[in-house]
Amino acid sequence: MDNVSGQKYFTLSGLNYVVQHRIVLFALTLLCYSVIWMVNAALILTIIVDRKLHEPMYIFLCNLCISALYGTTGFYPKFFLDLLSGTHVISYTGCLLQSFVIHSSSGTDFSNIAVMAYDRYVAICYPLTYHSVMTTQRITLLVAYSWLLPLFCMFMNTMSIFQTKLCGSLIPKLYCSNSLIRMLSQGLQNFMAIEFLVIPPVMNPLVYGFNLTKIRSRICGLWRSKKKMSGATQFGKE
């Protein structure tokens, strides 16, 4: 394919083979995105509100949930528009921005999990000196590291794209990506492209968050309190 200079728009062709099922796919995707927001937001708000959860492990978990919301925001809104639109185009600037957000979020997830592993290593291997090691300053540095390193790497990667020549305007995926897959079917390509935007944002809060006794107890306590308040309000009206 001849190099295309001055390209302003790209066409995302990953949805072309499921056009007839776009309404069903839109409903399922909206449900998935709603679940992602609910489980991650619930975990974030629980950790922020409850001062007993202001510990390194929960702070890093909150950071992981924020990263999930950041990354999925780079994909789902545009994907919804594509499902409702007959044309699936994206501007050159929008393509670079979407690629930057999605891939930097993926890198932030890996960094967050590495930081969480380091926290558990210190807690298990050096329990007596844990609080002297995991100080407020160190926690701040680790949180900053988990964001700044992936963002810097993706920024440099994005800047390097400006120095390359574009080859065509067709992107055979659901979103903009710095790499394309050659020998796989379109359906398998789409699954591999979005699985890390669906599975980790839903499973991370469940595995790392709601599985913890303190967080589960706090959320159940808030739910019971809300039910009691609603019951008391209804009884007062009667």
pLDDT digits (tens, 9 = 90+) for 98-115: 888 988 998 899 899 999
Q: Cβ contacts of residue 235 below 8 Å, gap of 6+?
A: none
User: Is residue 6 pLDDT above 60, yes or no?
Assistant: no
Cα–Cα distances (Å) from 110 to 7, 23, 204, in that order, read: 33, 34, 12
Mind giving me the DSSP string for 41-57? Answer: HHHHHHHHH-GGG-SHH
Task: Give the sheet arrangement for strand 9-12, strand by strand.
Answer: 89-91, 9-12, 170-171
pTM equals 0.75
More confident residue, 73 or 9: 73
At 178, the pLDDT band (50, 70, 90 cuts) reads: low
pLDDT score at 17: 61
Alpha-carbon gap, residue 124 to 138, rounded angstroms: 18
Alpha-carbon gap, residue 234 to 112, rounded angstroms: 44
Alpha-carbon gap, residue 231 to 238, rounded angstroms: 11
Phi/psi zone of residue 168: left (φ > 0), alpha (ψ -120 to 50 degrees), beta?
left
* Mean pLDDT calculated for residue range 9-25: 72
Alpha-carbon gap, residue 182 to 33, rounded angstroms: 29
